[in-house]
Chains A and B, each alone.
Chain A
Amino acid sequence: MFGRLAATRLPEIRQIFRQAPPQTSRSFSTALNYHIDTPDNNSELPWEFSNANKDKVKEILSHYPSNYKQSAVIPLLDLAQQQHGGWLPVSAMNAVAKVIGVAPIRVYEVATFYSMFNRQPVGKYHLLVCGTTPCMIRGSREIEDALLKHLGVKRNEVTKDGLFSVGEMECMGCCVNAPMITVADYSNGSEGYTYNYFEDVTPKRVVEIVEALRKGEKPPHGTQNPNRIRCGPEGGNTTLHGEPKPPPCRDLDAC
């Protein structure tokens, strides 16, 4: 068995040993699962919800029974992330833990589980490229390459001006308009926070979108193909021209 394995996989195995794989910053869907103290991210730093957000916190907590406050952990983390420019320092997670009255580790567990919570700084515009199969087939790799090349960064790296970062996201349910990117806009804090889909993008079009964002414009979101209306087919409907027929149903009165 070893012989067969060696014969078939010898070149691959040799390849692995020849060059140790470059340490990708994100080999799994989540980043590092432990915290490393840095000057801008340590538990000593004070962190609080802003006054405007404190009302929102109250509003969020009011959705849950008072003895199940910990259910509010995800909306509160989201709010904290919007307030803190798109990412969650460990002190923000501690603040959330205090609000909902659980041990901090229970909040870390949630924050590390969901890849939408960034525990490293991101740009003001966080561009998320869908990497799941339909988008990949329709060319999401090229789109990501175009973005990275245009911005001159690696994945999950922030541009020097702090405006952009590119990440990967799994399926966001826009397969019918694949490929797509999402732009999480943290430039206006939690009040002006938007999270918009740009669908049917091409490598050329994403660069235009990036440039428009750089200028502070708001490019129209949704499908970027002028011949399509939302997720309808190019050139108008091909089916469902008339009133849809009701589903066939047996005659209940006859029973």
Chain B
Amino acid sequence: MGLGVLASRATRLSGRGNPSRSLFYVRTIVTKPELQSPEASSAAAAPEPTPDLPPRTPLGGARVHFPNPDDAIEVFVDGYPVKIPKGMTVLQACEVAGVDIPRFCYHNRLSIAGNCRMCLVEVEKSPKPVASCAMPALPGMKIKTDTPIAKKAREGVMEFLLMNHPLDCPICDQGGECDLQDQSMAFGSDRGRFTEVKRSVVDKNLGPLVKTVMTRCIQCTRCVRFATEIAGVQDLGMLGRGSGEEIGTYVEKLMTSELSGNVIDICPVGALTSKPFAFKARNWELKGTETIDVTDAVGSNIRIDSRGPEVMRILPRLNEDINEEWISDKTRFFYDGLKRQRLNDPMIRGADGRFKVVSWRDALAVVAEVLHQAKAKEVVGVAGKLSDAESMMALKDFLNRMGTNNVWCEGNGPNPNADLRSGYIMNTGISGLEKADTFLLVGTQPRVEAAMVNARIRKTVRATNAKVGYIGPPTDFNYDHQHLGTGPETLLQIAEGRHPFCSEISNAKNPAIIVGAGVFEREDKDAIFAAVDTIVKKYGNVVRPDWNGFNVLLLNAAQAAALDLGLVPESSESIETAKFVYLMGADDINLDKIPNDAFVVYQGHHGDRSVYRANVILPASAFSEKEGTYENTEGCPQQTLPAVPTVGDARDDWKIIRALSEVAGVRLPYDTVSGIRSRIRTVAPNLLSLEEREQATFAASLKPEVKQKISSTPFKAAVENFYMTDPITRASKIMAQCSALLAKK
């Protein structure tokens, strides 16, 4: 939307009368090899577009999907015929035809309000311009988007919108990425006729994340609809009427939603902006790096905006299959943790218990020496929850060469089951959850464990009235649910068919069972999974050839890749007898279990918890500073890209291990990322096919018999504080503020 589209339309219109000229434009912009070779380009030039109807391409993101081919209707947008399914609005038809309609209140993921009137278009035989966002397209409709009437209507609307809008673009954080600014460039006048005094509105306090300047508000109600429909917190509303209308909460109330940061993105003006980012940078100074988020196992697609060596903000990136276009507040605002408590130099703890800064050479020499002194059985390696697949591969290879196999990833529990891939990933897929009509949540609170998955479940529940049953400690849900029980005995009741919820599962078309990864830490984990398997087998509709409703919702970004790579310890008690512990960013393991005489090496990027126990600190780079592969909970591998240079003397995790292996005399056979990836190819090839969800081949039914007894201990909350789950978020000031103000006591 905005100037670029309008400009491109202008160039297209100017080239309309002259086909060869318009082709010239295309060839300069598109750099496809077939267009550069002369034969191919002449072939491409052969079917010349008729000068009257230049070919139109649907605007980015506009997909035409015909649920029922008979329902297709044909409308004409500026004389160009398009086929669209019945029930689409005029605005969507225009998008399919490649015409961008200016809009403020319309948002394709929210309900239709039709109150900004910016999207007025002319429809033949209609006496007045119609609001295209709220008008269903009818067969044979002739829509005109660039006639004088449509233009005049938009100019009139724009003048009214600008009437009460303050002229504070120079001090507004939205300046440069503001819909109103962009569209007033196209439809605004250079002067106003309004000579009265502009209205002003009292700013509201929405908490530590969202800054409000309500005078700038144009009453599009996108934020109200977002809060009500997507976030599920009915706090915002439209108060008053006429020119006194304003957005607010009426009573003093903070917006306590884990998705509240998204109102910043959907606000078309600068009324809702980011509080931590306020007055920090202009958006055109920033360099965007498209990467992924590692604070939870969802792997939301994000864009890290950086200026020079600093991460300035994090924005979501569109990915329909994972996070749509939302991200959680933790993902959006934890970035200031990347600048605090960083480890920047290798350090060794001296005899007096104090850390001394040393060179890499000395640090690695000390580590290698101690490592050689320890017996192979007493060496243990733990990968942290933010580790990428490459470094975990290197860690496992290195320790295997040292003769031990006691390597695991924190969060996977003492005795992980990595044999059946279907047993630890979300087989349905996050977007697949939309097809489910009954959910059974076992020991998981998706709202704090994976906010984007929760948003998906809420979307499903809102759209189809899907039933949700929940087993676990009492917790907050933002959709209707039945609390079936707190402990595993409820699960047994369902498995044995003694529970009223059984009929819901058996009657469901696509039931989905989601087991939380918090269960991994339990003693009776195998028995619980066996009970879930019983449910799966009992109700044949849970796992079918065309539907796999058995899901595990993981907690951490590293978990799935660690299990794919086989980071499974040889014995579950190895850490209690260890003499040498290698912590690769592991801050959430129980440090009391490590014996006092053990030598602990901490390799990581934040001075969080484990550094206080460490003997040697090796500084590593954070996810924003390195290239790494992360597999999300649905088994979809994605890559991070370095957005900013790393700090101090820190190095990538796998490079440290590679260097250490050389010092220790067991050189790992790879020197580059591509080298380490070809090693991964031999272990878990699916990690290299990015953005592809490889289905788990073997069903859970192949599992061996479980003799374990289920215990009656109730399920625990796996995430205690949504805002502080890993070393980076614990270092963040904003997250500390959030957990003080917003986290439910």
Contact surface of A with B, Cβ cutoff 8 Å:
1, 5, 9, 16, 28-30, 33-35, 37, 43, 90, 102-106, 108-109, 112-115
Which single residue of chain B is at the shortest CB-CB distance from A12? B195
For A103, the chain B residues whose CB sits under 8 A away are 234-235
Asked if A109 and B239 sit within 8 Å, CB to CB, the answer is yes
How long is the Cα–Cα vector from A28 to B237 in the complex, in angstroms?
A: 19
Known: A34-B239, A103-B234. A108 touches B250 (CB 8 A): yes
Asked if A30 and B251 sit within 8 Å, CB to CB, the answer is no
Asked if B244 and A35 sit within 8 Å, CB to CB, the answer is no
Which single residue of chain A is at the shortest CB-CB distance from B204? A34
Known: A1-B191, A16-B197, A105-B235. A29 touches B241 (CB 8 A): yes
Min distance, Cβ B217 to any Cβ of chain A, angstroms: 12
0/1 per residue, B186-220, Cβ < 8 Å to A?
Answer: 00000100010100001010000000000000000
Asked if A28 and B243 sit within 8 Å, CB to CB, the answer is yes
Residue from the set A16, A34, A43, A103 with the largest chain B CB neighbour count within 10 Å: A34
How long is the Cα–Cα vector from A106 to B237 in the complex, in angstroms?
A: 7
For A112, the chain B residues whose CB sits under 8 A away are 239-241, 250
How long is the Cα–Cα vector from A106 to B246 in the complex, in angstroms?
A: 14
Which single residue of chain A is at the shortest CB-CB distance from B240? A33
Residue from the set A9, A29, A114 with the largest chain B CB neighbour count within 10 Å: A29
Asked if A113 and B250 sit within 8 Å, CB to CB, the answer is no
For B236, the chain A residues whose CB sits under 8 A away are 105
For A29, the chain B residues whose CB sits under 8 A away are 241-242, 244
For A34, the chain B residues whose CB sits under 8 A away are 202, 204, 239, 248-251
Asked if A90 and B239 sit within 8 Å, CB to CB, the answer is no
How long is the Cα–Cα vector from A35 to B246 in the complex, in angstroms?
A: 13
For B241, the chain A residues whose CB sits under 8 A away are 29-30, 112-115
Which single residue of chain B is at the shortest CB-CB distance from A90? B251
**Chain B contact residue count (CB 8 A cutoff):** 23
Contact pick for B234, options A5, A35, A105, A115, CB 8 Å: A105
For B195, the chain A residues whose CB sits under 8 A away are 5, 9
Whether a CB of chain A sits under 8 angstroms from the CB of B696 is no
For B243, the chain A residues whose CB sits under 8 A away are 28
For A30, the chain B residues whose CB sits under 8 A away are 240-242, 244
For A33, the chain B residues whose CB sits under 8 A away are 239-240, 244-246, 248, 250
A-B contacts counted at CB < 8 A amount to 65
5 examples of A-B residue contacts, CB within 8 angstroms: A33-B240, A33-B244, A34-B250, A90-B251, A109-B238
Min distance, Cβ B425 to any Cβ of chain A, angstroms: 37
Asked if B249 and A28 sit within 8 Å, CB to CB, the answer is no
How long is the Cα–Cα vector from A114 to B240 in the complex, in angstroms?
A: 8
Min distance, Cβ A27 to any Cβ of chain B, angstroms: 8
Asked if B239 and A43 sit within 8 Å, CB to CB, the answer is no
For B202, the chain A residues whose CB sits under 8 A away are 34
For A37, the chain B residues whose CB sits under 8 A away are 252
Which single residue of chain A is at the shortest CB-CB distance from B249? A105
0/1 per residue, B243-271, Cβ < 8 Å to A?
Answer: 11110111110000000000000000000
For B237, the chain A residues whose CB sits under 8 A away are 105-106, 108-109
Residue from the set B234, B243, B244 with the largest chain A CB neighbour count within 10 Å: B244
How long is the Cα–Cα vector from A136 to B372 in the complex, in angstroms?
A: 98
How long is the Cα–Cα vector from A37 to B738 in the complex, in angstroms?
A: 25
For B239, the chain A residues whose CB sits under 8 A away are 33-34, 108-109, 112-113
How long is the Cα–Cα vector from A28 to B234 in the complex, in angstroms?
A: 27
Contact pick for B250, options A9, A16, A28, A35, CB 8 Å: A35
How long is the Cα–Cα vector from A1 to B202 in the complex, in angstroms?
A: 33
How long is the Cα–Cα vector from A102 to B197 in the complex, in angstroms?
A: 37
Min distance, Cβ B163 to any Cβ of chain A, angstroms: 15
How long is the Cα–Cα vector from A89 to B364 in the complex, in angstroms?
A: 70
Given contacts A29-B241, A112-B250, 4 further A-B contacts (CB under 8 A): A30-B244, A33-B248, A35-B250, A90-B250
Which single residue of chain A is at the shortest CB-CB distance from B253? A105
Residue from the set A33, A103, A105 with the largest chain B CB neighbour count within 10 Å: A105
How long is the Cα–Cα vector from A90 to B249 in the complex, in angstroms?
A: 12
How long is the Cα–Cα vector from A1 to B238 in the complex, in angstroms?
A: 38
Min distance, Cβ A227 to any Cβ of chain B, angstroms: 39
Min distance, Cβ A49 to any Cβ of chain B, angstroms: 21
* 5 tightest A-B CB contacts, nearest first: A103-B234, A28-B244, A105-B237, A108-B250, A33-B240
How long is the Cα–Cα vector from A143 to B237 in the complex, in angstroms?
A: 37
Min distance, Cβ A237 to any Cβ of chain B, angstroms: 40
Min distance, Cβ A117 to any Cβ of chain B, angstroms: 11
Which single residue of chain B is at the shortest CB-CB distance from A42? B251
Which single residue of chain B is at the shortest CB-CB distance from A16? B197
B138-195 residues at the A interface, CB under 8 angstroms: 191, 195
Asked if B242 and A105 sit within 8 Å, CB to CB, the answer is no
How long is the Cα–Cα vector from A220 to B241 in the complex, in angstroms?
A: 34
For B240, the chain A residues whose CB sits under 8 A away are 28, 30, 33, 112-113
For A90, the chain B residues whose CB sits under 8 A away are 250-251
Min distance, Cβ B459 to any Cβ of chain A, angstroms: 19
Asked if B234 and A106 sit within 8 Å, CB to CB, the answer is yes
Which single residue of chain A is at the shortest CB-CB distance from B195? A9
Min distance, Cβ A34 to any Cβ of chain B, angstroms: 6
Min distance, Cβ A121 to any Cβ of chain B, angstroms: 18
Asked if B244 and A43 sit within 8 Å, CB to CB, the answer is no
For A5, the chain B residues whose CB sits under 8 A away are 195
How long is the Cα–Cα vector from A32 to B240 in the complex, in angstroms?
A: 8
Min distance, Cβ B599 to any Cβ of chain A, angstroms: 57
Residue from the set B237, B251, B252 with the largest chain A CB neighbour count within 10 Å: B251
How long is the Cα–Cα vector from A90 to B238 in the complex, in angstroms?
A: 16
Which single residue of chain B is at the shortest CB-CB distance from A94? B251
How long is the Cα–Cα vector from A13 to B174 in the complex, in angstroms?
A: 31
B592-645 residues at the A interface, CB under 8 angstroms: none
Min distance, Cβ B228 to any Cβ of chain A, angstroms: 8
For A43, the chain B residues whose CB sits under 8 A away are 251
Known: A9-B195, A112-B239. A105 touches B244 (CB 8 A): no
For B242, the chain A residues whose CB sits under 8 A away are 28-30
0/1 per residue, B692-710, Cβ < 8 Å to A?
Answer: 0000000000000000000
B358-408 residues at the A interface, CB under 8 angstroms: none
For A114, the chain B residues whose CB sits under 8 A away are 241
Min distance, Cβ A149 to any Cβ of chain B, angstroms: 28
Residue from the set B239, B241, B242 with the largest chain A CB neighbour count within 10 Å: B239
Min distance, Cβ B195 to any Cβ of chain A, angstroms: 7
Which single residue of chain B is at the shortest CB-CB distance from A108? B250
How long is the Cα–Cα vector from A123 to B249 in the complex, in angstroms?
A: 28
How long is the Cα–Cα vector from A115 to B251 in the complex, in angstroms?
A: 19
For B248, the chain A residues whose CB sits under 8 A away are 33-34
For B235, the chain A residues whose CB sits under 8 A away are 103, 105
How long is the Cα–Cα vector from A11 to B12 in the complex, in angstroms?
A: 51
